[in-house]
Chain A
Amino acid sequence: MQDIIQGKAYVLGDNIDTDQIIPAKHLVYSLSDPEERKLYGKYAMSGVPDAAAGLPQGNVRFVPENDHRSPFQIIIGGKNFGCGSSREHAPEAMQIAGIQAVAAESYARIFYRNSVDGGFFIPFETTQRLIGEVKTGDDLEINVPKGTLTNRTSGKTYSLRPLGDVLEIIKAGGVFAYARQAGFLKS
């Protein structure tokens, strides 16, 4: 687990569901094929309505055309991030696009669990609403041991909620490593 996560912010709204994160028609690509899986990065966030893509102004592409990596590394979300379908393709598509952390007010639980168990990135919960405080493109730094998020563009620092129960799984690197530690799996 990294102590410091740095990157540019991509700001989204409330109730971002997994159909917006990766629309259903793209769920047909192979995740095992190293080339084909890049398509998930290419289409990550392509279901977000244009006006809500990259707040506050909107109309900001998450991934440039003909690319599968995003220029943004940290997503700022509102309430109930990742609701809807249980597709693990959603956090995985975000990881393939280069996302290293999400900081949202709250999460839908299957998405939260998939992010942690699959070891894709850390889903942080914020203690206040950061939409409006952070703009798409701002430079962010998350200090994991301190539990803070700093907007280096504005100079303001915000606290994050403790990771709690899932910290052990995150530290282990995902649910398989965690199950090994619990003795359910041979190493």
Chain B
Amino acid sequence: MGMTMTEKVLARHAGRTRVAPGDNIWVDVDILMTHDVCGPGTIGIFRKQFGPTARVWDREKVVIIPDHYIFTNDQHAHRNIDVLRTFVKEQDLPYYYDVGTDKYKGVCHIALPEEGHTRPGEVLFGTDSHTCTAGAFGEFATGIGNTDAALIMGIGKLWVKVPETMRFEFEGPLPPYLMAKDLILHIIGDIGMDGATYRAMEFAGDGVMSLSIEERMTLCNMVIEAGGKNGIIPTDAVTEAFVKSKTAKPYQPVADDRDARFHSVRRYKTADIQPTVAKPHSPDNRGTARECTGTRLDRAYIGSCTGGKLNDFIAAAKILKGHQVKADTYIVPATTEVAKGLATTRLDGQTLIEIFQQAGAKISQGASCAACLGGPSDTFGRLNKSEVCISTTNRNFPGRMGSKTAQVYLASPYTVAASAIRGEITDPREFL
């Protein structure tokens, strides 16, 4: 019997010719990523377990990206960045993207590919649940805790239970009013928040392969919201062109065997899918934008590793151009590269920034996670009272974006932009 992509990557990194779902194996790690929230804890455990003078297993393979609590006056948060800095210096780590320098990037899951750290066929672990985003590059990528990360830091290996693979096929290119966010919210609504618990979610079909690399990242980003271990997308010319533009490091893509065995296969026609929202307070509480039409909004938020990439802002700008927002609208680029794109990308002669400013949106001066996870009280865009917000982010649990009395709807950048204009949830087809 053949293997799925996920099984093949894991087998190769365990030094085996084959593995089967349920096998417990130790795998070699290609990249370990951590950030300012989980890095200090990881470093603490690493020092305690391996000794104060221990060295990381491979300095080329540890990537540290501060991104969560950056533009805040919280002193504890600043101290955490100092812990990272000291460690990076001590270990002489080349891949550190320090706050306040030209190297600063912003949201780790978007920074990783921009900096060439995501490559087909590899194994990436990160101390962040949305590390699964990198499955868009045909690799095995998943989130772990501080203890596991500290172990990897010292030995370059981790135990994994090989997951079964659920396959999701989309037929037909996306209609002009849909985005990858609609597809993934639709799936999560179907299978529920634990519908893929400890399974790989593989996305395929011509609908998926017609997506840009950024849109593929959105699909994989939210597999964790269905409990998935990892998301993965076959490697094609789009993947290779992107990866080769970012890194010269060699890599070996994998593909499903023809007789690979899947836990299940679900097929969708993209034309049947509607602009989709997740209603408060869980990502599987699915509705369509049309059904929710009229829901009053205080705020719209466009940002994060899910919906804060350049393509997300281009989509939002297409709708916002020439309109005024009724809901307070916050724009937060995921990375500094995306922020540059806002200033240089033009729609009919106007930059995205100009379009957002004219629409009356507030634009963050810095790239970071910002209010996606609430953060310290002075965080840009944070929901500090019982506001109703529509957001391009990935989670709407109670209190996720700040106050536990706030209500968050998740949607695509198209739907969020259309809703911002009306001040109530709106199907983007009204503006496209």
Spell out A's residues near B (CB within 8 Å). 15, 17, 19-20, 23-25, 27-32, 47-49, 79-80, 83-89, 91, 106, 108-110, 113-114, 117-119, 165, 174-176, 178-179, 182, 184-185
Contact = CB atoms under 8 A, between A and B. Distances in A.
A173 to B, nearest CB: 12
B194 A31 contact: no
Interface string B214-246: 000000000010010100000000000000000
B398 A47 contact: yes
B37 A80 contact: no
Interface in B7-26: 24, 26
B38 A184 contact: no
Contacts of A86: 38, 127-129, 131, 143-145
B375 A85 contact: no
A184 B397 contact: no
Interface string B39-77: 011001000110000000000000000001100001011
B282 A15 contact: yes
Contacts of B404: 23, 47, 49
Q: Which 9 A-B pairs have the closest CB atoms?
A: A88-B145, A28-B76, A114-B145, A86-B143, A86-B129, A32-B44, A80-B194, A118-B147, A88-B146
B397 A20 contact: yes
B377 interface: yes
B107 interface: no
Interface stretch (B155-163, B164-172, B308-316, B338-346): B155-163
A175 B147 CA distance: 8
Contact of B373 (A32, A48, A85): A85
B80 interface: yes
Nearest to A79: B194
Nearest to A29: B76
B279 interface: no
B155 A174 contact: no
A88 B148 CA distance: 10
A29 to B, nearest CB: 6
B154 interface: yes
Contacts of A30: 40, 44, 76, 79
B374 interface: yes
B155 A185 contact: yes
28 contacts: A15-B397, A17-B400, A19-B374, A19-B395, A19-B397, A20-B399, A25-B375, A25-B376, A27-B37, A27-B68, A28-B74, A30-B40, A30-B76, A31-B146, A32-B48, A47-B398, A47-B404, A83-B227, A86-B127, A86-B145, A88-B38, A108-B227, A110-B145, A113-B145, A117-B148, A179-B155, A184-B155, A185-B154
A12 to B, nearest CB: 12
B95 interface: no
A165 B161 contact: yes
B24 A165 contact: yes
Contacts of B161: 165
Given A24-B68, A88-B146, 12 more contacts: A25-B374, A28-B37, A29-B76, A47-B404, A80-B194, A83-B193, A85-B129, A86-B127, A110-B145, A117-B151, A176-B151, A179-B151
A91 B375 CA distance: 19
Nearest to B142: A110
B270 interface: no
A101 to B, nearest CB: 18
B197 A25 contact: no
Given A20-B397, A25-B374, A28-B76, A88 B147 contact: yes
